[in-house]
Amino acid sequence: MKVLRSPDELMAYRAGLSGAVGFVPTMGALHKGHLALVKHAKRNQGKVIASIFVNPTQFNDPLDLQSYPRCESADRELLEAAEVDALFMPTAAQMYADGSRYQVAETSQSVDLCGADRPGHFTGVLTVVLKLLNLVRPTHLYLGEKDYQQYQLIKGLVNAFFLNIEVIAVPTVREQDGLAMSSRNRRLSAIDRKTAPKFFQILSSNLSDEVVIKQLIQQGFTVDYVKTIDGRRFGAVQLGTSGRGVRLIDNVRIEP
Ligand code: AMP
Protein backbone atom coordinates (compact mmCIF):
# COMPACT_ATOMS: atom_id res chain seq x y z
CA MET A 1 0.00 0.00 0.00
CA LYS A 2 1.36 3.37 -1.00
CA VAL A 3 1.16 6.00 1.73
CA LEU A 4 0.72 9.46 0.19
CA ARG A 5 1.29 12.35 2.54
CA SER A 6 0.57 15.38 0.38
CA PRO A 7 -1.80 16.50 -2.38
CA ASP A 8 1.18 16.56 -4.78
CA GLU A 9 2.06 12.92 -4.01
CA LEU A 10 -1.58 11.92 -4.43
CA MET A 11 -1.94 13.72 -7.76
CA ALA A 12 1.28 12.15 -9.08
CA TYR A 13 0.01 8.69 -8.06
CA ARG A 14 -3.44 9.32 -9.58
CA ALA A 15 -1.92 10.46 -12.86
CA GLY A 16 -0.53 6.95 -13.31
CA LEU A 17 -3.92 5.22 -12.92
CA SER A 18 -6.54 4.38 -15.51
CA GLY A 19 -9.87 2.59 -15.19
CA ALA A 20 -12.04 2.33 -12.09
CA VAL A 21 -10.85 4.08 -8.93
CA GLY A 22 -12.85 3.53 -5.75
CA PHE A 23 -12.49 6.04 -2.93
CA VAL A 24 -13.18 5.55 0.80
CA PRO A 25 -12.77 8.78 2.77
CA THR A 26 -12.47 8.40 6.57
CA MET A 27 -11.33 10.18 9.70
CA GLY A 28 -9.40 7.12 10.90
CA ALA A 29 -9.74 5.09 14.13
CA LEU A 30 -10.91 2.42 11.73
CA HIS A 31 -13.37 -0.37 12.53
CA LYS A 32 -15.39 -2.98 10.63
CA GLY A 33 -17.78 -0.30 9.34
CA HIS A 34 -14.95 1.41 7.47
CA LEU A 35 -13.64 -1.97 6.30
CA ALA A 36 -17.07 -2.82 4.86
CA LEU A 37 -16.71 0.24 2.60
CA VAL A 38 -13.29 -1.01 1.50
CA LYS A 39 -14.73 -4.49 0.79
CA HIS A 40 -17.42 -2.97 -1.42
CA ALA A 41 -14.79 -0.91 -3.22
CA LYS A 42 -12.56 -3.97 -3.76
CA ARG A 43 -15.43 -5.78 -5.53
CA ASN A 44 -15.23 -3.23 -8.32
CA GLN A 45 -11.89 -4.63 -9.57
CA GLY A 46 -10.13 -1.29 -9.99
CA LYS A 47 -7.78 0.52 -7.62
CA VAL A 48 -8.93 1.49 -4.13
CA ILE A 49 -7.77 4.68 -2.46
CA ALA A 50 -8.63 5.42 1.18
CA SER A 51 -7.99 8.64 3.05
CA ILE A 52 -7.55 9.44 6.71
CA PHE A 53 -8.04 13.07 7.57
CA VAL A 54 -9.54 14.37 10.80
CA ASN A 55 -11.10 17.43 9.24
CA PRO A 56 -10.92 20.35 11.69
CA THR A 57 -13.52 22.48 9.90
CA GLN A 58 -16.38 20.04 10.59
CA PHE A 59 -15.92 20.12 14.37
CA ASN A 60 -17.73 22.91 16.19
CA ASP A 61 -16.31 21.85 19.52
CA PRO A 62 -12.51 22.14 19.85
CA LEU A 63 -12.54 19.54 22.67
CA ASP A 64 -14.36 17.05 20.44
CA LEU A 65 -11.66 17.57 17.79
CA GLN A 66 -8.91 17.20 20.37
CA SER A 67 -10.37 13.99 21.83
CA TYR A 68 -11.16 12.40 18.45
CA PRO A 69 -9.35 9.02 18.51
CA ARG A 70 -6.20 8.78 16.40
CA CYS A 71 -4.41 5.47 15.77
CA GLU A 72 -2.36 5.78 12.62
CA SER A 73 -0.28 2.61 12.78
CA ALA A 74 -3.24 0.31 13.58
CA ASP A 75 -5.23 1.99 10.80
CA ARG A 76 -2.43 1.47 8.31
CA GLU A 77 -2.21 -2.23 9.18
CA LEU A 78 -5.98 -2.67 8.75
CA LEU A 79 -5.99 -0.97 5.35
CA GLU A 80 -2.93 -2.90 4.21
CA ALA A 81 -4.61 -6.18 5.23
CA ALA A 82 -7.76 -5.10 3.35
CA GLU A 83 -5.58 -4.64 0.23
CA VAL A 84 -6.12 -0.95 -0.22
CA ASP A 85 -3.81 0.31 -2.97
CA ALA A 86 -3.09 3.77 -1.60
CA LEU A 87 -3.72 5.70 1.60
CA PHE A 88 -3.87 9.49 1.47
CA MET A 89 -3.03 11.24 4.74
CA PRO A 90 -2.70 14.99 4.21
CA THR A 91 -2.25 17.65 6.88
CA ALA A 92 -4.77 20.39 7.65
CA ALA A 93 -2.30 23.02 6.40
CA GLN A 94 -2.13 21.26 3.03
CA MET A 95 -5.90 20.84 2.70
CA TYR A 96 -6.59 24.43 3.73
CA ALA A 97 -3.78 26.29 2.02
CA ASP A 98 -6.48 28.86 1.13
CA GLY A 99 -7.01 29.56 4.84
CA SER A 100 -10.58 28.23 4.44
CA ARG A 101 -11.56 31.27 2.37
CA TYR A 102 -13.38 29.00 -0.10
CA GLN A 103 -16.24 26.88 1.20
CA VAL A 104 -19.09 24.78 -0.19
CA ALA A 105 -22.47 25.20 1.52
CA GLU A 106 -25.80 23.45 1.10
CA THR A 107 -28.62 25.67 2.25
CA SER A 108 -31.59 23.39 2.96
CA GLN A 109 -31.10 19.85 4.30
CA SER A 110 -27.82 20.74 5.96
CA VAL A 111 -29.50 22.92 8.59
CA ASP A 112 -31.76 20.09 9.84
CA LEU A 113 -30.89 17.08 12.06
CA CYS A 114 -27.10 17.04 12.68
CA GLY A 115 -26.80 20.50 11.13
CA ALA A 116 -29.30 22.12 13.50
CA ASP A 117 -27.15 22.01 16.61
CA ARG A 118 -23.80 21.96 14.81
CA PRO A 119 -23.75 25.12 12.69
CA GLY A 120 -21.22 24.92 9.87
CA HIS A 121 -20.67 21.19 10.34
CA PHE A 122 -21.89 20.17 6.89
CA THR A 123 -20.16 23.10 5.21
CA GLY A 124 -16.95 21.69 6.70
CA VAL A 125 -17.84 18.19 5.46
CA LEU A 126 -18.85 19.24 1.94
CA THR A 127 -15.84 21.51 1.52
CA VAL A 128 -13.32 18.85 2.48
CA VAL A 129 -15.12 16.18 0.44
CA LEU A 130 -15.05 18.37 -2.69
CA LYS A 131 -11.31 18.97 -2.17
CA LEU A 132 -10.72 15.23 -1.67
CA LEU A 133 -12.81 14.31 -4.73
CA ASN A 134 -10.92 16.81 -6.90
CA LEU A 135 -7.63 15.32 -5.78
CA VAL A 136 -8.56 11.62 -5.98
CA ARG A 137 -10.87 11.92 -9.01
CA PRO A 138 -12.55 8.60 -8.18
CA THR A 139 -15.01 6.83 -10.44
CA HIS A 140 -16.80 5.38 -7.39
CA LEU A 141 -17.27 6.85 -3.93
CA TYR A 142 -18.20 4.63 -0.96
CA LEU A 143 -20.09 6.11 1.99
CA GLY A 144 -21.77 4.56 5.03
CA GLU A 145 -25.52 4.63 5.64
CA LYS A 146 -24.60 5.15 9.28
CA ASP A 147 -24.18 8.85 8.39
CA TYR A 148 -27.23 8.94 6.16
CA GLN A 149 -27.71 12.72 6.14
CA GLN A 150 -24.04 13.10 5.18
CA TYR A 151 -24.50 10.50 2.41
CA GLN A 152 -27.51 12.39 1.03
CA LEU A 153 -25.70 15.73 1.12
CA ILE A 154 -22.56 14.36 -0.56
CA LYS A 155 -24.66 12.65 -3.24
CA GLY A 156 -26.37 16.02 -3.77
CA LEU A 157 -22.97 17.73 -4.02
CA VAL A 158 -21.80 15.23 -6.67
CA ASN A 159 -24.98 15.88 -8.69
CA ALA A 160 -25.00 19.66 -8.21
CA PHE A 161 -21.39 20.05 -9.37
CA PHE A 162 -21.59 17.45 -12.20
CA LEU A 163 -18.79 15.39 -10.71
CA ASN A 164 -19.56 12.21 -12.66
CA ILE A 165 -18.89 9.89 -9.72
CA GLU A 166 -21.04 6.92 -8.75
CA VAL A 167 -21.93 7.26 -5.07
CA ILE A 168 -22.54 3.96 -3.27
CA ALA A 169 -24.19 3.75 0.17
CA VAL A 170 -23.03 0.80 2.29
CA PRO A 171 -25.37 -0.57 5.02
CA THR A 172 -24.48 0.20 8.63
CA VAL A 173 -22.24 -2.37 10.32
CA ARG A 174 -23.31 -3.05 13.90
CA GLU A 175 -21.96 -4.74 16.99
CA GLN A 176 -23.79 -7.96 17.94
CA ASP A 177 -25.98 -6.00 20.36
CA GLY A 178 -27.07 -3.62 17.58
CA LEU A 179 -24.89 -0.61 18.42
CA ALA A 180 -23.71 1.01 15.19
CA MET A 181 -19.92 0.80 14.97
CA SER A 182 -18.32 4.20 15.38
CA SER A 183 -14.86 5.55 16.13
CA ARG A 184 -16.43 7.42 19.05
CA ASN A 185 -17.65 4.18 20.72
CA ARG A 186 -14.19 3.61 22.14
CA ARG A 187 -14.69 6.71 24.29
CA LEU A 188 -17.73 5.16 26.05
CA SER A 189 -17.28 4.13 29.69
CA ALA A 190 -18.07 0.47 30.55
CA ILE A 191 -21.46 1.47 31.98
CA ASP A 192 -22.37 3.68 29.02
CA ARG A 193 -21.30 0.92 26.61
CA LYS A 194 -23.99 -1.28 28.21
CA THR A 195 -26.65 1.41 27.78
CA ALA A 196 -25.61 2.39 24.23
CA PRO A 197 -27.34 -0.50 22.31
CA LYS A 198 -30.70 0.65 23.69
CA PHE A 199 -30.38 3.65 21.36
CA PHE A 200 -30.72 1.41 18.28
CA GLN A 201 -33.32 -0.85 19.93
CA ILE A 202 -35.62 2.04 20.86
CA LEU A 203 -34.99 3.93 17.61
CA SER A 204 -36.06 0.86 15.58
CA SER A 205 -39.34 0.34 17.49
CA ASN A 206 -42.61 1.25 15.80
CA LEU A 207 -43.46 3.83 18.47
CA SER A 208 -43.92 7.50 17.58
CA ASP A 209 -40.91 9.84 17.60
CA GLU A 210 -42.28 11.51 20.76
CA VAL A 211 -42.52 8.20 22.67
CA VAL A 212 -39.07 7.17 21.41
CA ILE A 213 -37.63 10.42 22.80
CA LYS A 214 -39.30 9.79 26.19
CA GLN A 215 -37.98 6.23 26.39
CA LEU A 216 -34.45 7.31 25.47
CA ILE A 217 -34.50 9.96 28.20
CA GLN A 218 -35.74 7.33 30.69
CA GLN A 219 -32.75 5.14 29.78
CA GLY A 220 -30.34 7.98 30.55
CA PHE A 221 -29.67 9.40 27.08
CA THR A 222 -29.58 13.13 26.40
CA VAL A 223 -31.55 13.42 23.15
CA ASP A 224 -30.32 15.89 20.53
CA TYR A 225 -33.05 14.89 18.07
CA VAL A 226 -35.26 12.04 16.90
CA LYS A 227 -37.08 12.68 13.66
CA THR A 228 -38.66 10.51 10.97
CA ILE A 229 -38.30 11.77 7.40
CA ASP A 230 -39.52 9.81 4.36
CA GLY A 231 -39.73 6.49 6.20
CA ARG A 232 -36.33 6.77 7.87
CA ARG A 233 -35.95 7.62 11.54
CA PHE A 234 -32.86 9.66 12.40
CA GLY A 235 -31.54 10.10 15.92
CA ALA A 236 -28.65 11.68 17.80
CA VAL A 237 -28.08 11.22 21.53
CA GLN A 238 -25.38 11.77 24.09
CA LEU A 239 -24.25 9.44 26.83
CA GLY A 240 -21.90 10.13 29.68
CA THR A 241 -22.50 11.46 33.12
CA SER A 242 -18.96 12.18 34.17
CA GLY A 243 -16.91 14.56 32.08
CA ARG A 244 -17.79 15.05 28.44
CA GLY A 245 -20.59 13.12 26.80
CA VAL A 246 -20.12 10.84 23.82
CA ARG A 247 -22.40 11.66 20.90
CA LEU A 248 -23.98 8.73 19.06
CA ILE A 249 -25.96 8.98 15.82
CA ASP A 250 -27.94 6.32 14.01
CA ASN A 251 -30.80 5.91 11.56
CA VAL A 252 -33.15 3.09 10.65
CA ARG A 253 -35.83 2.44 8.05
CA ILE A 254 -39.25 2.47 9.69
CA GLU A 255 -41.89 0.26 8.06
CA PRO A 256 -45.19 2.13 7.76
P1 AMP B 1 -15.78 8.52 9.64
O2 AMP B 1 -14.40 7.99 9.77
O3 AMP B 1 -16.60 8.36 10.88
O4 AMP B 1 -15.83 9.92 9.06
O5 AMP B 1 -16.51 7.59 8.57
C6 AMP B 1 -15.98 7.39 7.29
C7 AMP B 1 -16.99 6.62 6.46
O8 AMP B 1 -17.29 5.38 7.09
C9 AMP B 1 -18.32 7.38 6.33
O10 AMP B 1 -18.82 7.19 5.01
C11 AMP B 1 -19.19 6.67 7.34
O12 AMP B 1 -20.59 6.74 7.06
C13 AMP B 1 -18.69 5.24 7.24
N14 AMP B 1 -19.01 4.49 8.45
C15 AMP B 1 -18.71 4.84 9.74
N16 AMP B 1 -19.22 3.93 10.59
C17 AMP B 1 -19.87 3.00 9.84
C18 AMP B 1 -20.61 1.80 10.13
N19 AMP B 1 -20.80 1.38 11.38
N20 AMP B 1 -21.12 1.10 9.10
C21 AMP B 1 -20.93 1.50 7.82
N22 AMP B 1 -20.24 2.62 7.47
C23 AMP B 1 -19.72 3.35 8.46
* 34: annotated active-site residue: yes
Answer yes or no: is the C-beta of 144 below 6 A from any ligand 1 atom: yes
**CATH superfamily to which 183-250 belongs:** Pantoate-beta-alanine ligase, C-terminal domain (3.30.1300.10)
Consecutive 10-residue averages of pLDDT for the chain (256 residues) = 98 98 98 98 95 97 91 98 98 98 98 94 98 98 98 98 98 98 94 97 97 97 96 96 80 90
Answer yes or no: is the C-beta of 34 below 6 A from any ligand 1 atom: yes
CB 127 within 8 A of CB 106: no
CA of 28 to the centre of ligand 1 (A): 10
Model pTM score: 0.97
CA of 143 to the centre of ligand 1 (A): 7
Rounded Cα–Cα distance for residues 114 and 83 (Å): 33
Nearest atom of ligand 1 to the alpha carbon of 146: 12
**CATH superfamily to which 2-170 belongs:** HUPs (3.40.50.620)
Answer yes or no: is the C-beta of 143 below 6 A from any ligand 1 atom: yes
CA of 170 to the centre of ligand 1 (A): 9
Q: Structural domain boundaries of the chain?
A: 2-170, 183-250
**pLDDT on residue 163:** 98
CA of 179 to the centre of ligand 1 (A): 13
CB 225 within 8 A of CB 249: no
Nearest atom of ligand 1 to the alpha carbon of 36: 21
